[in-house]
């Protein structure tokens, strides 16, 4: 299961592997609250600055971010963690519900669904 939550929220038993997916380390957060930091899976600085959590740009942000993810080798690292059957919680620091962790969850779920369909059709 893939969950998404702010890194400032309390740790829960079912969080599983807690993965920070922001490019910058969040203020005031101790390293013990995060299991893995995949900073390179975050959107490029250019995309992040352009988007600026503007909900009117959400769909275009996701399209551009998904294009970046298609070329990002860290996606495979994240997929391997998920495929081990672990619960995974993608952590982010933004206050906005329009953020890269939410988009990344959608991307990963689509990728896993596509892989399952390919496997079932083989």
In this prediction, residue 73 carries a pLDDT of 95
**Neighbouring residues of 79: CB distance < 8 A, sequence distance ≥ 6:** 108, 111, 112
In this prediction, residue 119 carries a pLDDT of 66
In this prediction, residue 122 carries a pLDDT of 60
H-type alpha helices, 1-122: 45-51, 58-70, 74-83, 100-121
Measure the CA–CA gap between 93 and 63, rounded to whole angstroms.
Answer: 21
- Give me the residues of the chain with pLDDT under 70, please: 118-119, 122
In this prediction, residue 85 carries a pLDDT of 76
What are the residue boundaries of the structural domains of the chain, listed by start?
2-121
Q: Nearest Cα to 38, choosing from 19, 55, 12, 52?
A: 19
Burial of 69 (0-12, 13-18, 19+ CB in 10 A): buried
């Amino acid at each position: 299961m893939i969950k998404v939550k702010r890194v400032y929220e309390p740790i829960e038993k079912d969080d599983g592997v807690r993965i920070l997916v922001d490019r910058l380390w969040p203020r005031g957060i101790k390293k013990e609250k995060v299991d893995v930091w995949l900073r390179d899976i975050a959107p490029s600085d250019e995309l992040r600055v352009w988007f600026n959590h503007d909900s009117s740009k959400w769909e275009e942000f996701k399209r551009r971010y998904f294009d970046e993810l298609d070329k990002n080798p860290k996606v495979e690292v994240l997929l391997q963690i998920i495929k081990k059957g672990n619960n995974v919680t993608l952590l982010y620091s933004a206050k906005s519900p329009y953020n890269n962790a939410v988009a990344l969850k959608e991307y990963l779920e689509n990728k896993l669904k596509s892989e399952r369909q390919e496997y079932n059709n083989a």
